[in-house]
């Protein structure tokens, strides 16, 4: 017998948080508190810590209570960190001062209010500008928006969501400004979700913020596939520049990409890999360490050509079959060896 579908009404932002200002302040405090303990994330992931997981769980609740009071972000953070310091002191009184509690106590004593999301965004935005080089850049702005539930939908019968990351992102172009909107399901936002933010923002900045196209399409082989390959290529190098442990930031970034891989994204990534494989047959290239950055350079130059997205998707399809496309091979060789403009590749697509 089939189970009856349960119909329930998700709360609105006002019902859940009171107003957007309280939600934003809660997000700020929660991220700042998680950031305090970021150097412990590797051991936390391995499950070798005795106290931090429960301290963070309490910190999430504390952030809500402190941010609900009429105050600014810094005052809410200071109140929350004071309560966490008190909790650590209570644990020391009950359990004694072990090495973990000593480290946590020191981190709390040295804690200062900050906005980790903005810090991460600024660094990634600068890196993106650097790799794109001399092109007409848009101004990029980070917006934060509320999600009613996990990005993949309600939990299954086992109570689990589609993945561990309660964040998503999208980019909207308004004139010469790219608004990168980080969408947060704050009810369950934790340190896993924070570690997924760099991968999300890298995708938005590399793939969309400076792209010159006539539309958005989540099924685009080019914008969501080929360019996603470029974003992941740079992400590995940028993950260690964000103030987070690089190894675990890479781990959760890759998990996020794998968990949300669509057929269109995968196919576009295959197209980029096909170009790398083909370039490695060129005796002036041969090595992946040369072919991969060259493929990234080609894709980024195409990405900023003002052209309809369907024409770029057609090119992505041709790149997937580059081994058999002699005309495309000649065009890419002319770009690489003779500095021909990439617009000719799109004109022929």
Q: Residue 232 in contact with residue 299, Cβ under 8 Å?
A: no
pLDDT digits (tens, 9 = 90+) for 13-53: 888 898 999 999 999 999 999 999 999 999 998 888 889 99
pLDDT, residue 329, reads: 94
pLDDT digits (tens, 9 = 90+) for 292-342: 999 999 999 999 999 999 999 999 999 999 999 999 999 999 999 888 888
| Mean model confidence pLDDT for the chain | 93
Structure confidence at residue 349 as a pLDDT band (50, 70, 90):
low
What tokens were used for 252? 């959760």
Q: Residue 272 in contact with residue 319, Cβ under 8 Å?
A: yes
Taking the CA atoms of residue 75, residue 81, residue 82 and residue 87 in that order, the dihedral angle to the nearest 10 degrees is 150
Lowest mean pLDDT among 41-50, 116-125, 231-240: 41-50
Average pLDDT over residues 242-265: 96
Q: Residue 158 in contact with residue 194, Cβ under 8 Å?
A: no
Residue from 122, 117, 127, 116 nearest 140 by CA: 122
Structure confidence at residue 3 as a pLDDT band (50, 70, 90):
very low
Q: What is the pTM of this model?
A: 0.94
pLDDT, residue 348, reads: 64
Measured distance CA(236)–CA(251) in Å, rounded: 10
* Res. 5: pLDDT tops 60: no
């Amino acid at each position: 017998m089939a189970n009856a579908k349960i119909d329930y009404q998700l709360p609105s932002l006002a019902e859940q948080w009171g107003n957007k200002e309280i939600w934003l302040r809660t997000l700020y405090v929660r991220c700042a508190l998680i950031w305090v303990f970021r150097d412990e994330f590797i051991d936390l992931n391995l499950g070798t810590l005795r106290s931090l997981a429960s301290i963070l769980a309490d910190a999430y609740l504390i952030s809500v209570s402190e941010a609900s009071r009429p105050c600014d972000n810094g005052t809410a953070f200071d109140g929350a960190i004071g309560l966490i310091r008190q909790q650590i002191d209570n644990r020391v009184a009950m359990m004694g001062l072990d090495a973990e509690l000593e480290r946590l106590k020191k981190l709390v004593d040295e804690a200062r209010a900050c906005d980790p999301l903005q810090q991460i965004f600024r660094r990634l935005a600068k890196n993106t500008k650097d790799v794109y080089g001399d092109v007409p850049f848009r101004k990029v702005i980070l917006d934060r928006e509320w999600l009613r539930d996990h990005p993949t939908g309600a939990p299954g019968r086992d109570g689990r969501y589609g993945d561990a990351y309660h964040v998503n992102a999208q980019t909207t172009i308004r004139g010469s400004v790219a608004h990168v909107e980080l969408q947060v399901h704050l009810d369950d936002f934790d340190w896993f979700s924070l570690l997924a933010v760099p991968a999300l923002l890298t995708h938005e900045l590399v793939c969309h913020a400076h792209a010159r196209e006539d539309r958005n399409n989540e099924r685009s082989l080019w914008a969501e596939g080929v360019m996603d390959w470029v974003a992941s290529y740079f992400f590995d190098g940028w993950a260690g520049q964000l103030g987070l442990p690089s190894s675990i930031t890479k781990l959760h970034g890759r998990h996020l990409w794998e968990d949300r891989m669509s057929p269109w994204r995968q196919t576009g990534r295959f197209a980029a890999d096909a170009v790398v494989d083909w370039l490695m047959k060129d005796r002036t290239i041969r090595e992946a360490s040369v072919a991969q950055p060259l493929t990234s350079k080609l894709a980024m130059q195409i990405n900023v050509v003002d052209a309809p997205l369907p024409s770029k998707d057609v090119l992505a399809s041709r790149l997937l079959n580059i081994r058999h496309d002699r005309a495309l091979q000649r065009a890419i060789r002319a770009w690489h060896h003779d500095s021909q403009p990439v617009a000719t590749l799109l004109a022929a697509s």
